[in-house]
Amino acid sequence: MPFLGSIIKSAIELRSKIPLDSMKTQDPYAVQMKTLKKLLKKAQFTAFGEEYGFTSILRRPVILDTFKERVPLFDYNSIFKKWWYRTLNGEAYVCWPTQVKYFALSSGTSEAASKYIPVTYDMLRAIKKTSIRQIWSLAKYDLPLESYDKGILMLGGSTHLQFNGTYYEGDLSGITAGNIPFWFQHFYKPGKRISKERDWTTKLDEIVRNACNWDISVIVGVPAWLQILLERIIAHYNLKTIHDIWPNLSIYVHGGVSFAPYAKGFEKLLGKPITYIETYLASEGFLAYQSRPDTNGMQLVLDNGLFFEFVPFNEDNFDWENNLKPNAETLTIKEVEENKEYALLISSYAGAWRYLIGDVIKFTSVLLSEIVITGRTKHFLNLCGEHLSQENMNRAIEILEEEFNIEVREFTVAGYKTEDMFAHKWFLGTNNTIDPVLASTKIDSYLKLLNDDYRTERIAAIKSVTAEVLPVNLFYDYMKLLGKEGGQNKFPRVLKKDKLALWKEFLRNQK
């Protein structure tokens, strides 16, 4: 029996002998304060630590208050321009006591074409530690024992990283895959050779050719690209479902984007039900994962090099373009409430300090520190007070799919001014037939039920809601054109300004 299979089997047997009520949890706030103290101690002699007096902060009776008074809030632009750019030039001890050897290239935002996120050895060790915890958590799921000694297919970016004199750059999934533990190599697919391939189409071709030689029980990846891969395997081998070639497939680990819009199409590819497990592995660290079945919440990792602050996502803390205000209110883990939206700030082992990660979350359980991601700070539509969240958008598309038995695999929304009022336009990626006017009318009606602010502004300020129905491949062709095909790249749910102009130009050229 392979090593990993033995570990998981032992964990299952051990769990069955331990009463659940004997498992005591630590106080989340105390754990977080211990984490903050560790971070400050480790970074006190860096340029950042000396600038903001980490040594004297550690001597204060109330560390958190002084930390918040002295250290400003940062978004990517502000921390990169003042601090992180120095690490790209090979300077050590800037924000973390080491020279940064890896940078994760994160998908572009409205702020920058590409973001360079520092990845330190301490961060990689923390990711490995959390990954092992997630493996242990599988003991809580009712999974076939055979699935624990089969292959794990991880569809991510290339492990062949670009060297730029003093550092390596690439997709975080490629960086982490290149640093996986030796004992995991037996399970890891598609293997080192295929994982190094940079061309996305070639990589998919190689995986399809080798699929018949693997016995896969776990698949990991972004829903859009993984769905494309499974469809290609099924077509290549003339199968009915993916279970015809991988009968032991039982787990799908996904993250980075809501799975809801993909669920309908994805399940058509399966011959039997599988277990879905969500993770929150961002370029800035492994923030949370689904640690138990029968929940849609992910448990925050509070004791492994990440200190969290939560900014109420409202007009007091963000301007009309959803930029963080310098004096924004921040809360700790003991001050948050369930079902309220917060933007995430992190301080981390990678030298991020009070850094706006760009995601908006909501607590489903404060007691268990469980969250769901409701969207990105820049992927909210709030032209006139409609406060339309990505969560609202995903749900509206999900209802549309259910009502008309169609699959909308990709979509994006644009908001714009029309004379003295506003309008929303939806771009729907589907290979099914639906009338655009009907689609926009239905989406509009769903959103009025889902969001009171939207319903109010739809009467007062939003003049029209329209839709354009497009073939799905156009969305992926556009990503390829931008050099963002595959890996961890996702199509943005909201397009604004220059990105909207580029998308419209692309569509004009296609027509």
The fold adopted by the segment(s) 380-510 is: GMP Synthetase; Chain A, domain 3 (3.30.300)
Query: Is residue 1 predicted with pLDDT exceeding 50?
Result: no
Residues 6+ apart with CB under 8 A from 341: 312, 313, 360, 361, 362, 374, 389
For residue 108, pLDDT beyond 50? no
pLDDT tens-digit series, residues 6-16: 655 565 556 54
> What are the φ and ψ backbone dihedral angles of 107, each rounded to 5 degrees?
-55, 140
What pLDDT score was predicted for residue 440?
95
Tell me what the mean pLDDT of segment 458-469 comes to.
92
Average pLDDT score over residue span 399-410: 94
Q: Which CATH class is domain 3-18+137-282?
A: alpha beta
Q: Which residue has the higher pLDDT, 253 or 188?
A: 253
Record the pTM.
0.85
The vertex-77 CA angle with 68 and 298, nearest 5°, equals 65
Cα–Cα distances in Å, from 505 out to 160, 205, 485, 510? 33, 30, 19, 9
* pLDDT at residue 3 greater than cutoff 60: no
Which residue, among 315, 318, 379, has the nearest Cα to 345 in the 3D structure?
318
Q: What is the pLDDT of residue 385?
A: 79
pLDDT interval class at 195 (50, 70, 90): confident
pLDDT of residue 305: 95
Nearest to 454 by CA among 504, 391, 400, 398: 391
Q: Where along the chain do its domains lie?
A: 3-18+137-282, 28-122+293-377, 380-510
pLDDT over threshold 50, residue 111: no
Is the separation of the CB atoms in 333 and 308 below 8 Å? Answer: yes
- pLDDT value of position 44: 97
Q: What is the pLDDT of residue 23?
A: 39
**CA max distance for the chain:** 69
Question: 137 pLDDT band (50/70/90 cuts)?
Answer: confident
Least confident of 9-23, 60-74, 288-302: 9-23
Top-confidence residue, 186 or 155: 155
- In this chain, the answer to whether the domains covering 3-18+137-282 and 380-510 adopt an identical fold is no
* pLDDT tens per residue, range 39-60: 999 999 999 999 999 999 999 9
What are the pLDDT digits (tens) for 155-185? 887 778 888 888 888 888 778 876 666 656 6
Residues 242 and 226 sit within 8 Å (Cβ to Cβ): no
